[in-house]
Amino acid sequence: MTIMSQTKRLYNRLDGWARNLSRIRYAAFVGVVSFSCYLFGGALLGKSNIFGAFGIGFTLAALHFAFNPNAQT
C-alpha cells in the first residue's frame, strides 16, 4: 500500500467522521481547529496572539453554524 493511498484513506475516514457530526458539534470542531491552528501558526512565527485566535475560532464556528455547509440538498 502506497503512502498516497494511505493518506487518501485517512482523509476519507476523517471526512466521513466530520460529516456525521451534528451541526453544533461540527461548528465547535471548526472553531477549535481554527483557534489551534491560528495560535500554533502565530507561535511558529513568534507572534502568538490569543485574542486573534479566539476571534477567528469564534467567527468561523459562528459562520459554520449559521450557514451549515454540510447540509445535504
Full-prediction pTM beyond 0.75?
Answer: yes
The domain locations on the chain are: 22-73
- Give the three cell numbers for residue 1: 500500500
Give the C-alpha distances (Å, rounded to integers) separating 38 from 8, 34, 56. Answer: 25, 6, 8
Q: How far apart, in whole angstroms, are the C-alpha atoms of residue 53 and residue 61?
A: 12
The predicted pLDDT at position 68 comes to: 86
The predicted pLDDT at position 47 comes to: 87
What are 1-54's pLDDT values in tens digits? 688 999 999 999 998 998 889 999 999 999 999 999 999 999 999 988 999 999
